[in-house]
Structure formats: structure tokens, C-alpha cells
Chain A
Amino acid sequence: MNKTAPKSVFVLVRNDWQYHDDFWSGDYAFLRGYATRAEAEAALPGRPLDRQFGQAEQSYDIVEVPVEE
């Protein structure tokens, strides 16, 4: 039996979360899927503003997701 490696795609995700009054609130923004992690990294539009003293905290993640064709 031929065993093939599981296929994956890589999703570029933006975290729009903030921590306030002892809990996190916010959500993710799922932007686009890519065939490789390197391609997803190359798609990053720079870095979100670091507000330092503010509540808003944004960042980007790349999430590997199994794909079923």
C-alpha cells in the first residue's frame, strides 16, 4: 500500500485580541491560505503597531491545517 504524506495548507491569521478587566476579548481574522509556510511568511504585511500602553494587541500567526482534496 502506498503511504502518502498528509497534505497541509498554511493559513495567515491576524489576532485582534485585547486583555481588559481580567479577560481576553476579540477574535481572529483569517486572511488567506498558502501552499507552504514560507509563502505564508512572505505574505506578512509587516508588523502591527505596538501600542505599548494601550489595550489593543495585534499579531500574526501562521497555522498549519490538514487539507482534504
Chain B
Amino acid sequence: MPTFVLERFNWWRVEPTAWLRLPGEVALAAFDTAAAHTRAAELEAEARAVVGHPFRCGGSLRELMTLPVFAFQDWLRDVGIEPPDPDPDDSLPWLAWADLYCGEWSKSQLEHVWEGTNRVRFYRVRERTAAPLHAVVRVCWSPPMNDSNYLPETEGGVPCALWHDRAAAERDRELKQRFAADEVAGGMEMAGESTMLLDPRRRVVAAEPFADVVPPLPAAVRAVTHCEVVEVERGDDATQPLGARAFQVVRLGWDEEDDPNCGSGHFYNDNYNNDSSLPKGGVLVRAFLLKEDAERLRDELEVEYRGIADPFRFDLPRTPEGVEDNDHTSEVLTKLGLAPPAITAAFNSDYYYRRRLYAVWWDRHADGLTPEQHDALWGLFADLRFHEVREVPVGDGQALPPRRVRTLYYVRATNWIPDGGPNVNPHRFLGAFADRDRAEEVRADADRRARTNQTPMPWDRSGSERNAWEEFSSWAKADMRRHFVARGLISEAEADSFGPNAYWWDDLRPRLRPAQATAFWEVLDRVRLYEILPLETEVPS
């Protein structure tokens, strides 16, 4: 049975009475019946009531409709609406005109205007003929530059895994949620940000462009969503089973610039500069068996959005080498027969102000561009992209033998041996054991052997004094000194000021009798050279 998916076009509320359409759609709900159409119509009417008139939904007519300007003017006159007169610079002030006169339009005239502006649609219903897959995505939280609470991506997340089976996806999500929350908590602690909260406001607000929502309060790191399950459909023949890997077309997420020189309606994306070290979020569009099929859809979607979008809302033009160069842009525009915007020297180095000027320039020129001019202008944004293809593992994409979870006991050398960090300090597992007693036997043996050679005080070599005596021993220092004097490890004369360190140990070790070594280690009772880690492990049933 087909399913009807109710989707909202990806509108962003840039001001209280201004909206812009970003690429793609957002799936809201799935219906088994055509009741989806009824619900879509209700939501469309509600959104139109909030927006008021369609000229608040874009800067140029290209963003609003497929009709050319002259045809739209005739379209208005057909119902007795006189279109705006040109401004002194020959531009047509559609927004100011509509704001001024829409209150005088009858209901049928307003309907006619909405009908003509056929790109301003808020909801749609799409028929789905195959069962969806279930993707586990990671919502990335990061601290903003001003050290306030952590903020999430505005929409979507990093695709981590794909499942055919919903229950399996939910189990995967639960584990990943736990891992991710622990990871963020650990990172916050390391960065000295443990007291910060995570504020979901911008994600919640971005999801409701036509409603005034009361966002939830910031919450602790383990109380927010880090991983969620979302449905994604196959973009190819769903009867061909996926293997261990699949390819997903991802629509990149955007956030609005907040620089005052830029003004509203300008966006940025952390992925933009192709910095692969950054987390890459996005909204899943379709999944594919073959990479080339995914790339084909990606390219189609790019062309589709470029047909209506204003590129200056996402970046400034660049040279073929990827450099912002206003002279180069002016040269290209002049060659195309277009007058570049006048930018005074004072603002020539202001990235955000130039973006604002160029966006205004685009609004005034976009409707008169020839296809060649339009394509040449987009050619200045070679690096600007809205979609990517990502490879992801398919959790149940291959027949694995059944697994069960059991606790294994892992024996591992602790970080007492030696310090050096993750680059030089291996994990040093001796093995994993089903039987705890056997693990303890291996641990004790390794510990005994290590004590004959290993300094118990490796940290001191850094000279940092970062480890207090209490980390090595539960003994009071005075008791330790008396103990060492009694066993001949130190003399009465040096006892008052004695504190063991790695150099002292290296000097003493070749001369130690076994009983003295035992006495020494007896004091260092908090030094554990090997440990046992009980760890849940998925093993074959």
C-alpha cells in the first residue's frame, strides 16, 4: 500500500515578516490514506495566513514564480490589480507595493496572486511506494565563539548507519546516543566547560518557520538528543538489496549569519570550505546502492536549486583558484554586460557588507538575467554546494551470524606504564577472558613481572609535579619514611626530607633485595600496573 508523506518545503524565517526558501524539503508525517492532502491544504492555508502575501518569501520574482515579469504583470491586471510602478532606478518595488496594497485585495484577488506566485508553496504530499530505510544520525553540538551554551546543528545530523529494520535502528541509536553523550561530556570536561548546558533553541525554532514556538530550556549533556532515527527512502530500485555499504545524498544544513553588516537572510555552513575535519551534518534525501546514481541525484538537485536561488546569500564569488576578489567579480560582470554594484573603498574589505550589497544587486538584476548570464554568475560559485554524497554502513546489509551480549574481562596495562599520550601510548591489552578468575591470574602475573623493572613513578620524569603523593599511596608520608628506614631503603639522615621519585628508584633498583622491593611496593598501594576491565562484548551466539 502506498504511503503519503507530508513534507514542508525548507523555508527559513529570516525576519518576523520575511522568509527564504533553502534547498529541499522536510518530511513531517506519513499517512496511509490521502488524508495527507487534506492536512497539507490546512497547513498551507495556515502558513499563508501567517505570511500574509507571497512577496515576503524572496527577493526577486525568480524566487517566487516561473512566469516572466511581463506575464505576471498581466496576470495581476486580469483580476484588476495594478502592478507597481518602477522606482527611479527602474527596479520594481514588489515587496513595498504588496505590503501597502494587499489589505485592499479581495480574498479572490489574493488567491489569484498566490496562484501566480507558484514557487511559493509551503507544503506538499509525496507518494511513497516502497518501505523506507531507517538511518541513525548524530546531531552535532558545538560551543559558539562567545562561550555561551553549546548549540546544535539547525537541522539533520551526520549519517552514521542505515537499517532496513526499525527495531534494529532503535537499538543502534540507543547505544550511539550513550556513546555520543559520554563523548561530549568528556570533551566538555577536558575543555573546562562542564558547567555549560546544551541549548536546543535554534534547532527547534528552525523546524517551525510559520509558528511562534516556545523553545525548551537548555539542558544537561545527557538530557538532550545526540542521535536520532530518521526515515530515508531508496532513490533507486528498492528491490535490489543493499550490501554492507550504501550511498546517501545529503542536503547540507545552513545557519543564518548574525553579523550586523550582513543583515538578515545570509547563511553559512561549516562544511563550506571543504574542511573534512569538521563534523558534517545534513538532512538525508535518498539512499542508493550505487555511488553514481547518488551523484546523479545530487547533481540534479544542485541544478534545480541554482535555478531559483540567490548565490550571494551563501557566499561571495570567487576566482577559479577559490579566492574572493572583488576586482575579478566586477570584471566578469562587466564582460557579461552587467553593471557591478558600487562598493566604496571603505567597505571593499568587509566580507559581510559586500555580501549584503551583492544580495541587493542580485534582487534587482535576477529577473532580467539571460540563461547565459545566470550560468556565468553561478560559475563564480564553483565551490558552493548544497548537497553531498556520503557513504554509510548498512547495519543489516549483510547476513551476520546472530550475536549475544556477554561480559568479557579485559586485562590491560594501565597508564602508569608509561606516560606519552595517545600517539605513543598503546592500549596494551593482554587479552580478553570469559572467566574473571583467569583474567585475574593473567593480570596478577603481568603485574608481578612488571614490578621488577618498572618504575612506579613515571609521571615524575616530566618534572611537572602533577601527581600528588596521595595518587601513589594511601600511606601518610611520615609512615612511609619510617617504613623505608626500617627496611634499609633510606637512612635516618635522609628521612626527614625524603620523597621517592623515578630517579631515586632507578638508582636503587639494581641494589634492592627482594624483601626490600616488596616493602617498597607495599607502600605504593595505589599504583596498579595492570587492570581488569569488564566490558560488554557482542560475541557469536
Contact = CB atoms under 8 A, between A and B. Distances in A.
Task: Please indicate whether A and B come from the same complex rather than being unrelated chains.
Answer: yes
Interface of A: 9, 11-19, 21-35, 38-39, 41-52, 54-59, 61, 63, 65-69
B398 to A, nearest CB: 9
Given A39-B400, A49-B279, A58-B183, A24 B429 contact: no
A31 B190 contact: no
Contacts of A27: 415
Contact of B538 (A34, A63, A66): A34
A23 B429 contact: no
A41 B393 CA distance: 8
A16 B538 contact: no
A18 B180 contact: no
A14 B180 contact: no
B432 A16 contact: no
8 closest pairs, A vs B, by CB?
A24-B421, A33-B537, A46-B138, A56-B190, A45-B176, A45-B179, A45-B180, A42-B393
A47 B158 contact: yes
A16 B421 contact: no
Contact of A68 (B138, B190, B438): B438
B538 to A, nearest CB: 5
A51 B191 contact: yes
A29 B186 CA distance: 9
B427 interface: yes
B422 A15 contact: yes
A48 B187 contact: yes
A21 B278 contact: no
Given A35-B539, A41-B393, A43-B175, 10 more contacts: A30-B410, A32-B535, A33-B432, A35-B540, A45-B176, A46-B279, A47-B279, A49-B141, A49-B279, A57-B422
A16 B539 contact: no
Contacts of B191: 51, 54-56
Interface string B207-225: 0000000000000000000
B536 A63 contact: no
Looking at chain A's contact residues, the main secondary structure is strand
Given A9-B539, A30-B533, A55-B191, A68 B244 contact: no
A65 B438 contact: no
Contacts of B419: 23-24
A52 B187 CA distance: 13
B371 interface: no
B149 to A, nearest CB: 14
B464 interface: yes
Contacts of A69: 434
A61 to B, nearest CB: 7
B277 interface: yes
Given A14-B183, A35-B538, A61 B138 contact: no
Contacts of B180: 45-46
B431 A67 contact: yes
Given A17-B422, A30-B410, A66 B140 contact: no
A32 B538 contact: yes
Contacts of A23: 419, 421, 462, 464
Contacts of B533: 30
B425 A24 contact: yes
B267 interface: no
Contacts of B177: 45
A10 B464 CA distance: 35
Interface in B81-100: none
Nearest to B398: A38
B463 to A, nearest CB: 9
B511 interface: no
A28 B425 CA distance: 10
Given A30-B533, A49-B142, A14 B182 contact: yes
Contacts of A33: 408, 410, 432, 535-539
A13 B187 contact: no
B226 A45 contact: yes
B187 A26 contact: no
B175 A32 contact: yes
Interface in B136-190: 138, 140-142, 157-158, 160-161, 172, 175-177, 179-180, 182-184, 186-187, 190
Given A14-B182, A16-B190, A32-B175, A63 B421 contact: no
B393 A45 contact: no
A29 to B, nearest CB: 7
Contact of B140 (A22, A34, A46): A46
A69 B540 CA distance: 12
Contact of B277 (A39, A45, A50, A63): A50
